[in-house]
Structure 1
């Protein structure tokens, strides 16, 4: 009995030690050699939102659920081996808050306020490109605003290229951070530096910038004459060879689509972190390919800012789960924040210069749908409105075509000012008239839906015609029926078509129209035409009429 009693007491003594040992062993993650990153799940104090890591391929275990939590502010010494990454995508020079899903979102003053709050001695702030609006008619200098973002670097986006090679260099000549692009060339020389190496908190970081190859068809052709867009994955590989052995961590600022980022991660597992361009697909916000973490945000114009911490644990570099902050006067992560005073002062100065932009054009009585995914994948009432106005600009015209990529936002009910309309139509497009045979018109519509799955800006909003297409059919063979003014399309008949100079210049891959004879060019830009029309016709009530049928 004494033996049993003694052993029972001994077991009671050992039990807490065994239990705590097992628990700590469960929390240890496998070590991975630098500079690769792995996801690190932090201890949670309350129930959190979760996001599923997108499944990249069957062989990758990508169905685990990853909790999202902001890395906690602490008083740890800056000598600790860690860095904090803040990132935004497609800001588009949006100075003021805007209405989104019924809330006032974004705004320079709120972005600056939050980034200041989250900045520590070991913080770097990045942009994945499209910092500027791409509107060449907007001549105001927003250099002070760009510098207030306190960026460490930005990738070159396709919107920047709207200003042309020399135009973009002039607009950014006084900014405080570098623009990076490894794959855009002017002749045999890169247009911008491909990468930089920064040391922060004793950690050497290599940052590479990549620009989407789609810029070759997304940008007005005349603005990119002399530029070539080389394979970004290959060019990234050349940069990696140059910085190999010189850095602890490699970060890529990618202005490419999700699918291309996955290929990049597959090609170069030594990359630690890929920050991608914004993407409306929620399943694309975070992915893991091997040890490479890919992260992006879901909204543009400064509505969201992402945060990741990279820290050294057990001799390997590891990433915390991304935290996405909702920014703006009514953003849930801006509660308790005051707008930055310096940013407000700059905005007020801009507003003095743009007082006329507050002029009300008309009183809108319905929501006009121009959101990214809507306008690029289906007929919308706003697309119909703009296409109808185009059609009315030329007497005798039978068809109007407008690419959805030139429409950048919805128009909510209420007073519509010049500024709201310009935010919706920021580009300096001209309206043109051409004559097209029926077979060429069909080819144009085929191009409109060829990249449907990619939510492409090439998708056309139309007037004067209706068409049906089937996404299950091969590309360039998807259009199944076309009617012009209610009659079936005649292949060899010529039709009078009103469209934009961007399209006839070969933009959005409408190469069949490049150098096509232009019969008429409207002397005023499209924005002015729309403004004048809406002043005269304020009681517009556009609807969806079955002009585009998706099978």
Structure 2
């Protein structure tokens, strides 16, 4: 019997020596937002007052919190068109994130405004793939951040949108490949002792998937696609919070930290929450400021300039995938303003994301809501071949509802989506006649596209007949078009036909 007890004792002792010692269990709540530029949100949901209320409530619980902002803040809202995003920084400072990375819309007003806005931020700025013209770090920015939550070391790498060069106006700032940079920095963070690596990134679905498949990153907090997304494949978690803080995603991640023979092991599993901000009471302090902004806008912009007898649709899914009555209105306005043969403008430049019923009184605010970027109307001399190449570019991202989708005037275009990129245009007519690739035409477009934005690089080689210095604001051209007519009736009329 004594021998049995001795054997049992030594077996138990051996098990204790071999078993891992559980040092601690800790839970961290990761709050994520992205693509919020409208201070008021979409109305019944979203906006800075509700977002800040969510953040403050989570922090008030007293647990471990990491709040990440994945970019697109200072533009393209209506108010940003007036103050170039100054108010969005001020509102974000009222409940500052633990880390922020710029989206492509941070560069919409050019590099000088970008740097000024970022200097006003009272929160950490991360962008490992962003450098100044000399290849140096941007003031106030770092590549990565190592933060501690209890015994846990969390490494964060920030990645700005590497599509900004054609999707925005970063000027001479240098932006490198987000995926390659992110994976390299993730390795560095792990080597520096990070238990858990986060990519705070403004990137598309493809890049997000590649980051996840690399297994070098544990949590991807992403923006840009404006999806409501939570995903966990057993190894990597991904989250995105739609847009305008209509919904806010939170990942409550529980970590089990153990150590054996001097080797530290961290195991984790997530639990996701999606906050519908329709049910959130706005933060009182922030609401005072947003109410002031609303009053200012109402006074300046709630002036009717005309009436539409037809319904107008500027929803993202509409203007980025098909001919839209709103797109026709804008394209017709540009074409008339500069007396051009044809007009092409990008569907992604229409930002209202709303429907206007027949009989709606169009206000200045409506026009500026649709065209918040402050773009100007350009007039170019182009060949038919240039128009054809531009249209091929316009249809090259139809699978992803790319913002380059063309809204046109003076043209009838037939395209076939199933064909390879660059071969999708079936036929083009100008004023009822087949396009002559060798002929010269005048074309109205916006200065963003004229400078090669949204992939319209072919326009860079065109002869400008009206330079930016002499051009008028697109929004003013649309206002003038509506004001002159008083009553308008834009409609989908077969300008763009999908075969």
- TM-score normalised to the size of structure 1? 0.77
Contact 1:266 1:289 survives alignment (8 Å): no
Deviation at 1:137, TM superposition (A): 4.7
Q: Secondary structure of the equivalent of 1:163?
A: coil
Q: Call closer, same or farther: CA 1:538–1:203 in 2, change over 3 Å.
A: farther
Deviation at 1:351, TM superposition (A): 3.9
> Which moves more between the two structures, 407-416 or 231-240?
407-416
Within 5 Å, give how 1:86-97 maps onto structure 2: 86-92=31-37, 94-97=38-41
CA distance in 1, matches of 2:335, 2:70: 37
Contact 2:197 2:217 survives alignment (8 Å): yes
Q: Which residue matches 1:271?
A: 217
Deviation at 1:364, TM superposition (A): 4.9
Calculate the aligned-residue CA RMSD, in Å.
Answer: 2.3
Q: Which residue matches 1:294?
A: 238
Contact 1:83 1:201 survives alignment (8 Å): no
CA distance in 2, matches of 1:171, 1:188: 21
Contact 1:278 1:300 survives alignment (8 Å): no
Matched, 1:199 2:137: no
- 1:109-164: per-residue Cα shift (whole Å, max 9, x none)? 22222322233331121111101114565346313201123311111110001233
Q: Which residue matches 2:18?
A: none
Contact 1:411 1:420 survives alignment (8 Å): no
Deviation at 1:349, TM superposition (A): 3.0
Q: Which residue matches 2:165?
A: 216
Q: Which residue matches 2:262?
A: none
Within 5 Å, give how 1:120-519 maps onto structure 2: 120-121=61-62, 122-134=64-76, 135=80, 137-139=82-84, 141-142=86-87, 143-186=89-132, 187-191=134-138, 192-220=141-169, 224-243=170-189, 244-267=191-214, 269-279=215-225, 285-288=229-232, 291-297=235-241, 299-313=242-256, 315=258, 316-327=266-277, 331=278, 333-334=279-280, 337=281, 339-354=282-297, 355-364=299-308, 366-395=310-339, 397-409=340-352, 410-413=354-357, 414-519=360-465
Q: Which residue matches 2:27?
A: 82
Deviation at 1:342, TM superposition (A): 1.0
Aligned residues: 454
Q: Secondary structure of the equivalent of 2:157?
A: strand
Deviation at 1:533, TM superposition (A): 2.3
Deviation at 1:464, TM superposition (A): 0.6
CA distance in 2, matches of 1:286, 1:366: 39
The one of 535, 540, 543 equivalent to 2:483 is 535
Deviation at 1:484, TM superposition (A): 0.8
CA distance in 2, matches of 1:363, 1:348: 28
Deviation at 1:372, TM superposition (A): 1.6
Q: Call closer, same or farther: CA 1:278–1:444 in 2, change over 3 Å.
A: closer
Q: Call closer, same or farther: CA 1:535–1:321 in 2, change over 3 Å.
A: farther
- 1:158-205: per-residue Cα shift (whole Å, max 9, x none)? 000123333212112232212211112223223331111111233211
CA distance in 1, matches of 2:335, 2:30: 48
CA distance in 1, matches of 2:68, 2:34: 9
CA distance in 1, matches of 2:481, 2:116: 35
- 1:247-286: per-residue Cα shift (whole Å, max 9, x none)? 221111110101111111222x13110012153567xx24
CA distance in 1, matches of 2:25, 2:234: 26
Q: Call closer, same or farther: CA 1:211–1:357 in 2, change over 3 Å.
A: same
CA distance in 2, matches of 1:98, 1:312: 36
CA distance in 1, matches of 2:441, 2:493: 22
